Amino acid sequence: MAARPLRVLVSKAGLDGHDRGIKVVARALRDAGIEVIYMGLHQTPEMIVSSALQEDVDGICISILSGAHLILVKDIFALLKKNKISNIPLILGGIIPAEDFPKLKKMGVKKIFTPGAALTDIVQYVKREVKPLS
C-alpha cells in the first residue's frame, strides 16, 4: 500500500487580511502532491490548533503580515503543547523582521520564509523536512 501524502495545514493567523501569497503557496504545495488543508483568513491560534488536531496534519504553515507574529506563534505553541501535539513542525511566512528570527526559532519555528521566497524553495523544504506523523 502506498504511503499517504503529506498533510499540511495552511492558514492566515490573526487579523491580517491579505491572503494572495498564502493561496499561491497552498496551490504550489498541492501541485507538488501535498494534501493541503487551507483555513483561510482571520484564524485564531485556537482555531489553527483545533484544525491541526481534527485533520491529523503533519505540518502547519502560517502566514502573518500584521506584525503580531511573536504573540500568535507563542499562543500556537502553547496550545500545541497543551494538546500534546508539539511534534508538528511550524513553518512561518510573511513580513517578519530579521531581528525576530532568533526569538521565533527559540519558540520552535522550524523555518521562516519572507516575501520573495521562491515557491520551489518552500515546496522543497516542506517535502524534505516535514515527515508523516501517522
Provide the pairing of β-strand 35-43 with 90-94.
unpaired
Q: Compute φ and ψ for 93, nearest 5 degrees.
A: -140, 160
> C-alpha cell of 18?
491579505
Please work out, in degrees rounded to the nearest 5, the angle formed at the alpha carbon of residue 15 by the alpha carbons of 55 and 44.
30
List the domains of the chain with CATH numbers: 7-128 (3.40.50.280)
The pLDDT tens digits along the chain (134 residues) read 557 889 999 999 988 788 888 999 999 999 999 999 999 899 999 999 999 999 999 999 999 988 899 999 999 999 999 999 989 999 999 999 999 999 999 999 999 999 999 999 999 999 999 998 76
Strand 35-43 relative to strand 59-64: parallel, antiparallel, unpaired? Answer: unpaired
Taking the whole predicted model, whether its pTM rises above 0.85 is answered as yes
